[in-house]
Structure 1
């Protein structure tokens, strides 16, 4: 996993705190690239040990309680166990809301862990004590929209870390049938091209499609040492069970399946039509 901050300190000692952001890979001059939207830090958040973002779904209303999305392994009570799904857990976690330039403009607070798991995916969704409309009115910042369709190979993306205030630029290299790391297994994971060399603390960063500005995944892990299927060294497993290790390559978990599980008022309904998220 792209470890929470404390677990990443040893890696930073090796890499050096002065490490520079990844240089954007040259992008082909296509019609899609020409229409790219501006992607910055607005709407992202910093956690105590991870990154995240204020998100809405296509059917969310401005008056709904705002939501923050990060990784399951960023949950303040510890990693969910394989097969564990947490819903409705009380929380008072705080988040630093960033503006477009990466400056913290507010502290937001949660009152609930709406959903958290590391089974099939790696996501935590918090409910805040305020609404999208109130955040927009007070700070001029809108939430990021979670796309409800599957991302595509080759798409230009940006991984926006609110913790490090760094933006990584690369493309979707492809999709992984199963991504296995230690005791956890994730389905249909998104693999980056090598330019997105994310580090500890980038966990939970939104992965944004630069053509639409929508969130298509949540950053979560990478193979650091070339080991096979161990913690911090995920391996790819295909439908035939063949294992591939790609040292230095990083991954995210897709988020297109999440909107179907939220109904009016941003309420979680795991029984809703089309909802495929793991259930408790």
Structure 2
């Protein structure tokens, strides 16, 4: 479990030439933007470092600036240890701190939680902490926006970056595909994101947001990889298909999708596991 000389023309001629050049350049730029929309460069802004893992300050499309901010990481990164199979932890007091990073990866603040909202390693591997500060306060104090979580299933081939606040390291690759079931030790994760080989996160990158280059939105949370080629053991997850066939991909890493999570949070960022469309495991 686990990143441009002058040619001596007259002033009038120069003006006309400049006008033509600017017009052509502007038109070319506009066409280029339409035909080849530029992706947003992924950086560290909004990511955080935990004592043992990575994470990010996240918000949903309907979150408001005065809502208490949330930090997302992995369930296996909980300060209380890894939840057992089938275990779901909700609404527990916590004073955990998180190092907030700016775009360049510099630590600009320590944020503090007042509770662990949710944590599990069943079906997925995710945790959410509620902070003592709001999104608006973080923005006004540090100029940093929370990362927005996507609400649609990611697509194979998508260019992504795994942004590790713990190591201050970015890993860029593509979504290779999805594992129907990913088994690691006693735990099983569903519909996991499989990275292409350039993304090889290491220990401490667990909990890193997986960011879509085209939208700059979070599509998954990074959590594990097969290190030694072993079959279905800790740090060596295996893929299991619908028929029960097992595939081991040594050196390949994975993340857990997050598109279904926004449905579980309502007004004021309050967790509601009974909300329509919420499929997160319940206690």
TM-score (norm: length of structure 1): 0.89
- Deviation, 1:116, is 0.2
CA distance in 2, matches of 1:85, 1:198: 26
Which residue of structure 2 aligns with residue 28 of structure 1?
none
1:240 aligns with 2:235: no
Q: Give the alignment of 1:131-280 within 5 angstroms.
A: 131-280=134-283
2:110 to 102, 107, 111: 107
2:101 to 98, 103, 115: 98
Matched residue SS, 1:133: helix
CA contact (8 A) 1:33 1:211 kept: no
Output one character per residue of 1:191-244: Cα deviation in whole Å (capped at 9) or x when no partner.
000000100000000000000000000000000000000000000000000000
1:69 aligns with 2:51: no
1:45 aligns with 2:48: yes
CA distance in 1, matches of 2:119, 2:109: 24
Greater Cα radius of gyration, structure 1 or 2: 2
CA distance in 1, matches of 2:63, 2:38: 25
- Deviation, 1:88, is 0.2
CA distance in 1, matches of 2:256, 2:163: 14
2:82 to 76, 79, 83: 79
**Segments of 4+ in structure 1 off by > 2 A?**
31-35
Output one character per residue of 1:62-85: Cα deviation in whole Å (capped at 9) or x when no partner.
110000000000000000010000
1:35 aligns with 2:27: no
CA distance in 2, matches of 1:88, 1:233: 31
CA contact (8 A) 1:135 1:141 kept: yes
Matched residue SS, 1:112: strand
Matched residue SS, 1:96: strand
- CA 1:179/1:168 → structure 2, altered by over 3 Å: closer, same or farther? same
Matched residue SS, 1:265: helix
Structure (1/2) with the larger helix percentage: 2
CA distance in 1, matches of 2:37, 2:201: 26
- CA 1:106/1:194 → structure 2, altered by over 3 Å: closer, same or farther? same
Which residue of structure 2 aligns with residue 121 of structure 1?
124
Which residue of structure 2 aligns with residue 6 of structure 1?
none
CA distance in 2, matches of 1:222, 1:98: 25
Matched residue SS, 2:268: coil
Matched residue SS, 1:121: coil
TM-score (norm: length of structure 2): 0.88
CA distance in 2, matches of 1:103, 1:34: 29
Output one character per residue of 1:90-113: Cα deviation in whole Å (capped at 9) or x when no partner.
100000000000000000000110
Matched residue SS, 1:268: coil
Runs (5+) with no aligned partner, structure 2: 3-33
